[in-house]
Amino acid sequence: MSEKTEVVVVGGGYAGVMAANRLTRRTDVAVTLINPRAEFVQRIRLHQLAAGTHDAVTEYGKVLNERVRLVVDSVSRIDAGTRTVTTSQGPVRYDYLVYAVGSASSAQQIPGVREFAHPLATLEDARTLRATLDAAPDATVTVVGGGASGIETAAELAEQGRKVTLICGATLNPYLSPKGRRTIAARLTRLGVTVLEGPQATEVTRHTVRLDDGREIEGQLVVWTAGFGVPDLAARSGLSTDPLGRLLTDETLTSVDDVRIVAAGDSAAPSGRPYRMGCQSAVQLGPQAAETVLSRIAGDQPAPADVGFAGQCISLGRHTGVFQFSHKDDTARNLHLGGRTGSGVKELVCRSTVWQLSYEARKPGVRTWWSKDPNRRQTLATATEPTPVTAP
């Protein structure tokens, strides 16, 4: 029996799980997923965890193929020369590596954020905020960040009777169409949220947020959802990154430094032009990163990545939401669904994302995607496995 090709996936989020599952399409590939948590985190539900309306986690056994070996640990360094990653349990060797470390809050450089604000980028962040809110049931809340996370958090807490101020920066979610933005602003107003557009937050103190127009906004609890960055693992490991720290790759998601390293999700920057962070791009990039690895194992030329967007869905509490339709290139169309219909679409998306991971775990590769060339269709599932070859 020939020795199996060892593939290590670093990061167990949407992209990492999809990549790990897709890699099991070949029985001669051994897949190891390294993730710091023993549960899969539904990041699109973290605002619900903070508000106490969902636990935002799923057992890996439900979304991960049984052939994937899960290692609960963190990677501190990637050594491309020796093809190993360093963990607290010791080095792990790889033949190929999928870099899917995701994203995190990037606002630590703003004065007072680290000391006084509650970020909402990780499971631990959301659980800490939930405990803080439980301990202060009457506290007023100031949410900084007018993107989807900020809007959802503000609406969720206001629906529970909290007094909430939302500091948006220049524009309330600039991704939205004008009609979609008006619909969301109207709903926030009905929930009692004070929406501040224009000024930027420059400093956080114990109970205030200072703005660049000189005002100070009082809030007993400050929640920070503005700005996302990525872990610095790639940079610390001497790999080429973009200014934000995402791994620089070519169009096949292969590192510009090493053909053995492939990136997916929020931490990838194909040709220096990354896709919008989020599960919508992650669940597409994950399997495509895996296909790049599988192509190289088979001695084939990998296909360029192709990501298509449908829109952005935003919950506005438990009963209302907005689905903003977009073009495939991720620019908003002047069309959206609101009200209970929008809420239903949002919930459907949250549930179907987990279902999509589970389906890929059960039937890896049984899907078809359309390339950028509308006349060419690539079927990723195959009836027989390609003949293994020695990788470079």
Per-residue pLDDT of the chain (392 residues; tens, 9 = 90+): 458 999 999 999 999 999 999 999 999 999 999 999 999 999 999 999 999 999 999 999 999 999 999 999 999 999 999 999 999 999 999 999 999 999 887 766 789 999 999 999 999 999 999 999 999 999 999 999 999 999 999 999 999 999 999 999 999 999 999 999 999 999 999 999 999 999 999 999 999 999 999 999 998 999 999 877 899 999 999 999 999 999 999 999 999 999 999 999 999 999 999 999 999 999 999 999 999 999 999 999 999 999 999 999 999 999 999 999 999 999 999 999 999 999 999 999 999 999 999 999 999 998 644 334 333 333 333 222 332 333 33
Q: Are residues 197 and 245 in the same domain?
A: no
Q: Is residue 120 part of a domain?
A: yes
Question: For residues 228 and 235, is the Cβ–Cβ distance under 8 A?
Answer: no
Please classify residue 189 by burial: count the beta carbons closer than 10 Å to its beta carbon, then call 0-12 exposed, 13-18 middle and 19+ buried. exposed
Q: Is residue 198 part of a domain?
A: yes
pLDDT at 326: 96
Based on the structure, what is the number of domains in the chain? 2
Residues in the chain: 392
Q: Are residues 267 and 295 in the same domain?
A: yes
Q: Are residues 68 and 160 in the same domain?
A: no
Quote the CA–CA distance of 294 and 96 in Å, as a whole number. 10
Q: Are residues 128 and 261 in the same domain?
A: no
DSSP state of 280: H
Q: Are residues 70 and 36 in the same domain?
A: yes
Q: Is residue 56 part of a domain?
A: yes
Question: For residues 219 and 207, is the Cβ–Cβ distance under 8 A?
Answer: yes
Q: Are residues 355 and 248 in the same domain?
A: yes
Q: Are residues 238 and 95 in the same domain?
A: yes
Q: What is the dihedral of CA 248, 60, 345, 52, to 10 degrees?
A: -110
Q: Is residue 291 part of a domain?
A: yes
* CATH (domain of 99): 3.50.50.60
Residue carrying the six token digits 């509308």:
374
Quote the CA–CA distance of 141 and 218 in Å, as a whole number. 9
Q: Are residues 248 and 354 in the same domain?
A: yes
Q: Is residue 181 part of a domain?
A: no
pTM: 0.91
| Cα end-to-end span (Å), the chain | 21
Q: Are residues 123 and 214 in the same domain?
A: yes
Outline where the chain has alpha helix (H).
14-23, 46-51, 60-63, 113-116, 123-135, 148-159, 178-190, 233-236, 279-298, 339-362
Q: Are residues 242 and 370 in the same domain?
A: yes
Provide the domain limits for residue 54: 5-103+230-307+349-379
Q: Are residues 94 and 120 in the same domain?
A: no
Q: Are residues 11 and 68 in the same domain?
A: yes
Of 67, 3, 113, 66, whose CA–CA distance to 390 is shortest? 3
222 pairs with which residues across the strands? 117, 142
Q: Is residue 338 part of a domain?
A: no
Q: Is residue 332 part of a domain?
A: no
Q: Is residue 373 part of a domain?
A: yes
